[in-house]
Amino acid sequence: MSNEFLALGIIFIFIFVTTIVGMLPGMKEKLNLEGWAIGGREFGRWLSWFILAGEIYTAFAFLGASGWAYARGGPTFYILGYGALAYVVGYYLLPKISPIGRKFSLMTQPDLVQHIYDSKLLGILVAIIGVLFLLPYLQLQLTGLGIIIQTCSYGLITKVPAMLIAFTLVAIFVYLSGLKGVASTAVIKDVVMIVAVVFFGLYLPFHFFGSVGNMFEALEAAKPGFLALPGGTKVLDVSWVMSTLVLTSLGFYMWPHFSANSFSAKSPEVLRHNAVFLPLYQICLLFPMLIGFTALLIIPGLSNPDMSFMLMVQKVFPGWALGLVGGAGALACMIPASDLILNTSMIFTRNIYCRGFNPNADHTHQKFVARIIVFIVTATALCLAIFAPNLLVNLLLIGYSGVTQFFPMIVLGLFWKRATKIASFCGLIVGETLVVYLTFSKLDPLAIFGLHLNAGFAALMVNLIIFVVISILTSNNDNIVAKEKRLSAS
């Protein structure tokens, strides 16, 4: 059989088997809204681990990290740093959110914000912003899936049909399976992914250079300084990496889907225990980078660096092996995409549609609307991917800058009794305005006082200052007492 059919065939077997596994929990019992959206709040250690860890191995880790290593060099290593720090933040944050969610029946991040500040309007604002910034992250996953199908077909299927195929698969998957399906298939995805990236990440440098060290020596000889900061760029220097590490480690759990994922845990203890071990998982992100660096020496001059992983495998291995990698990669795009779509549609339904237009909708109606929104959200991300294509890492960083602006409002809101509603509005609006302004006027990274700061970081600092000052000015005893009452989960 020819290579392209072999490769595509294997990918579809992967996707088919996973979809069946994902559908099983939904077929055994009739899922209500809570069961579909947050797994009925009964995930133990393992499912909780995989739903939290499942967000690490996305299309970005797989294709974007190798693409960045290929194009930029040293700055890529920031990816190794932020995950472990994010889990340190998560260790304190998630166990605090989870019991409040259980006690007050919260399902989404805007639910949480609305509850902390007792403000419907703030909840709606957070919902709108959350949906807007989830879209580029979702676009990233669909673009990744498109790249994989395109490469595995050896050019037989072009980008747009590839993404249309990807879109259909993902939307059907979420519609049928809900969060429990996402979690149980994340188990398959993570195991396959780890085997694939560790094998190829070590095999390729050994195959061409004899060892990982030799590969790096050769790269350093060919391009001196490429592996330190600012690597192959002019502006991604020490100050950029430091500010990006702050932004991404604080922003990690501000992604709206993580609130829902922490609501799905059976107990805060589950979340605490998993946070301890999650940092180690982060080491797996090193392997795609090794492939990107090897590719730079072996196949220089690629027009799309995000394709370096797939093209290296295509160069060295026959079609069936490319199919295995493609299958693993397809899952790495599909599972996180499903989680994102599920949450986007939940936020849209509960926090924009119901709060804004139809407050009396019962759970059955909400579930019906949420399932329709699944297709609308996916189609929107698909249009973005086709008409506004972007490098994977740019999509990731735009999303991060946006969602991290929630940090003062949510984290200080939970841990600092003087945080107020008015301060949240002001900080959030100023923060998001700055992010949008800096990003679209190409001021990211922001050159200031001889430093290159991540624009999202600069916006976060302004946001934080405004939030703290206005909170101090506007808090009074009455609202401190009322807020403490809302936040006590016992």
Which residues bind to other proteins, rule: CB under 8 A? Answer: 74, 77-78, 80-81, 83-85, 87-88, 91-92, 211-213, 216-217, 220, 224-229, 238, 241-242, 245-246, 249, 272-273, 275-277, 279-280, 282-283, 286, 289
Q: Which is nearer to other proteins, 360 or 490 (by Cβ)?
A: 490
Q: Which is nearer to other proteins, 191 or 276 (by Cβ)?
A: 276
Using N-to-C axis directions, what is the helix angle for 45-53 and 256-263, rounded to 10°? 170
Phi, psi at 451, each rounded to 5°: -110, 160
Q: Which positions ≥6 away from 46 have C-beta within 8 Å? A: 187
- In angstroms, what is the minimal distance from the CB of 213 to other proteins? 4
Q: Which is nearer to other proteins, 53 or 157 (by Cβ)?
A: 53
- In angstroms, what is the minimal distance from the CB of 259 to other proteins? 21
- In angstroms, what is the minimal distance from the CB of 231 to other proteins? 10
Is the preceding omega at residue 445 within 30 degrees of 0, hence cis?
A: yes
Phi, psi at 275, each rounded to 5°: -60, -30
Residue 108 CB coordination number (10 Å): 28
- In angstroms, what is the minimal distance from the CB of 224 to other proteins? 8
Find out whether 339 and 182 touch, Cβ atoms under 8 Å.
yes
Q: Which is nearer to other proteins, 88 or 422 (by Cβ)?
A: 88
Q: Which is nearer to other proteins, 154 or 206 (by Cβ)?
A: 206
Is the preceding omega at residue 279 within 30 degrees of 0, hence cis?
A: no
DSSP 399-453: HHHHHHTTHIIIIIHHH-TT--HHHHHHHHHHHHHHHHHHHHTT--SEEETTEEE
Look at residue 300 and give its three-state secondary structure: coil
Q: Which is nearer to other proteins, 78 or 117 (by Cβ)?
A: 78
For the chain, the distance separating the N- and C-terminal CA atoms, rounded to the nearest angstrom, is 63
- In angstroms, what is the minimal distance from the CB of 91 to other proteins? 6
227 CB burial (10 A radius; 0-12, 13-18, 19+): middle
- In angstroms, what is the minimal distance from the CB of 178 to other proteins? 31
Q: Which is nearer to other proteins, 118 or 220 (by Cβ)?
A: 220
136/273 Cα distance (integer angstroms): 31
- In angstroms, what is the minimal distance from the CB of 223 to other proteins? 10
Amino acid at 314: Q
- In angstroms, what is the minimal distance from the CB of 234 to other proteins? 15
Q: Which is nearer to other proteins, 207 or 272 (by Cβ)?
A: 272
